[in-house]
Amino acid sequence: MSAPTQVPDRRILEAVNGVILPGFFGTDLPQWLAEALDDGLAGVVYFGQNISPDTARLSAAIRSRRPSAIIAADEEGGTVTRLEAEHGSTLPGPAQLGQAGDMGLSTSVGAALAVRAAAAGINLVLGPVADVNTNPANPVIGVRSFGAEPRGVAAHVAAAVRGIQASGAVAACAKHFPGHGDTHTDSHLALPELRLATGEIEEIHFEPFRAAVSAGVRAVMTAHIRVPGWGDAPATLNPVILGKLRAIGFSGVIVTDALDMAAIREGIGMGAGAVAAIRAGADLLCIGNPRTNPGNTDEAGADCQDYLVVRNALLAAVASGELFLEQLEQAAARVRTLAADLEPSRDLAMTETAEPDWAAGAAPGIDVSGTVARSAGRLALVDLRARATLAVAAESDAFRRAFASRRAVLALLPVTAPQAWADNLRGLEPDADVIVLVDRIGVPGPQRDALEEIAALRPDAVVVNVGVAPEPGFANRLDRIDARASSALSAGIVAGLVYGEASA
């Protein structure tokens, strides 16, 4: 592992490492990461690439180098999962829970997330999503949110926090402050701007974070979004915005969203962003996923290089006086306090217990318009979805698998070649069913336009919407299921609605 030209003082090195949470490649502990843990690294963040049937062994290897290591993962239920990235989540998603309106169910899902996380050695769940999805065209939040109404979202967020943190073995991290729900841009790809009056943001978008704080949430994640009324710097790097988080009573760990996202990486840069985030009041710097984010590659060493960029920038900032060591140590102390509070509970007997019937719980969050049952022996899937965002970071096709378990799939027709799928649809044998997968019909746009074409060609098609549901009165002649999640659980429920239970 390379180092700065001058070997840093041990106190400074441990303070710097104590605020860094990197991602890494593989399902084994790399040597550079082992050495960083020996030098006081706060912990790691897992992504789908790190998950295997033996993830608990990887977690044990990490803690053999640093017993108090924080191991974090985005585990939201529904569309976003790391532990079940290979096949999709088997838990209800936030939008389904919000639609169902059962706070007890949200608490139960949170508790299940914690049990599953703890079994893998994860002690910081990067969730729940506390964003109020007031923009139905939001490209990155959508059904990851509990909904568009702040009081309802706040109630579900508080319930989820209580469920996740009930055992004391796992902490929750509400995200993304000051609220990512009204943005028009994905911060994985660019820097969004929240074009709302600051008073409106505080009244509407702060409400779920206030509820999370009242519920005792241990960590809050920042958003890489610009709020012009509070300055030009994105929230992650903005002392005014992070000060407002402290002002609502939060005294726990402020975690940055991933610094390798384009909103930071392609602007100020990861290293300068890390320094600015600590100066603004952040405590724990999530570097992110070295495999999926723009500007990086899958080549060997990219994960270590990202870590070194952040580490060395912090070391240089302390050496130059740009960053006070005392502020760095205060941030590292908050992280250590969180880790110490979780450490005694880490070995709690969180044995696998029987979970409730999640399909029954999720079903009230799924709406059916028209008559969706079909009986043909074969079907064609027309996939109009915009594909997974980098936040989802999974391409598992749970819906194709669920339908294939019930009927022979003739074809998968993607939206990437609209004329091709339209021509294929015209030539499809009339006794085959047509299932149309969408995720962007909450607002006018290409997917709605395509549905009009399909309705003219095949008025018997069934639309399966895994995104935000369209407004009441949305005019389309096709029968529709609003599933509100792209997950294995949702796919099984939807396929069952169309064709009944799968054969053994």
Q: Catalytic amino acids?
A: 188, 257
Residues 499 and 493: their CA atoms lie apart, in Å, by: 10
Q: Is the peptide bond before 178 cis (omega within 30 degrees of 0)?
A: yes
Residues across the chain = 504
**Residues contacting 383, CB < 8 A, separation 6+:** 412, 413, 414, 415, 437
* Alpha helix (H) residue ranges in 232-379: 239-247, 262-265, 270-280, 302-320, 325-342, 358-362
> Under the phi-then-psi rule, with left for phi > 0, alpha for psi from -120 to 50, and beta for the rest, what region is 39?
alpha
* Burial class, 246, CB count within 10 angstroms (exposed 0-12 / middle 13-18 / buried 19+): exposed
Kindly give the pairing relationship between strand 479-482 and strand 367-369: antiparallel
Q: What share of the chain is helix, strand, coil (3-state, %, to 5)?
A: 40, 15, 45
> Is the Cβ–Cβ distance between 490 and 96 less than 8 Å?
yes
Instruction: Give the DSSP per-residue string, 417-457.
Output: SHHHHHHHHHHS-TTSEEEEEES--SSSSHHHHHHHHHHHH
Q: What are phi and psi of 365, to 5 degrees?
A: -90, 5
Residues 330 and 18: their CA atoms lie apart, in Å, by: 10
And the tokens for 437? 């997968």
> Is the Cβ–Cβ distance between 147 and 89 less than 8 Å?
no
Angle of CA points 123, 217, 77, to nearest 5°: 60
Other CB atoms within 10 Å distance of the CB of residue 297? 10
Report the candidate in 89, 262, 291 with the shortest Cα–Cα distance to residue 191. Answer: 262
